[in-house]
């Protein structure tokens, strides 16, 4: 059975959203595994980058998921600062291999 791991940063709304997304994965037959304890096929990171601290923490968590399983799908959703441009190719959300979709550009597949 495929597995998914979640990491949520930010406010109560983000935690609610993560739970709603988990229900969608669950309905598709995924098992939920602990983000820090087990390797997953999919990592979903619900971010809050409104502050510099949140932005830094989000980048760290994204890199952690990629290191844990380079073959996994890493999906990033949530809040992102409007001034974030992703121009720095060293940034986990910038450079090649990353894509934003949606009107607010708040989802990336890594």
State mean pLDDT over 88-102.
Answer: 44
Q: Is the pLDDT of residue 87 over 80?
A: no
Q: How confident is the model at residue 81 (pLDDT cuts 50, 70, 90)?
A: low
SS3 (DSSP) at 34? coil
Q: Give the integer Cα–Cα distance in Å for 109 and 92.
A: 11
DSSP 8-state secondary structure symbol assigned to residue 30: P
What digits encode the pLDDT tens for the residues 38-77? 999 999 999 887 777 777 888 899 999 999 999 999 998 8
Q: Which residues contact 56 (CB under 8 A, 6 or more apart)?
A: none
Model's pTM, two decimal places? 0.74
Which one is predicted more confidently, 48 or 102?
A: 48
Q: Is the pLDDT of residue 36 over 90?
A: yes
SS3 (DSSP) at 39? coil
């Amino acid at each position: 059975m495929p597995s998914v791991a979640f990491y949520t940063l930010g406010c109560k709304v983000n935690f609610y959203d993560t739970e709603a997304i988990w229900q969608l994965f669950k309905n598709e037959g995924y098992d939920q595994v602990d983000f820090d304890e087990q390797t997953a096929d999919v990592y979903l990171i619900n971010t809050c980058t409104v502050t510099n601290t949140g932005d830094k923490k989000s980048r760290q968590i994204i890199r952690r998921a990629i290191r844990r399983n380079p073959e996994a799908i890493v999906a990033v959703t949530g809040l992102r600062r409007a001034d974030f441009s992703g121009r720095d190719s060293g940034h986990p959300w910038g450079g090649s291999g990353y894509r934003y979709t949606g009107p607010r550009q708040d989802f990336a597949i890594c």
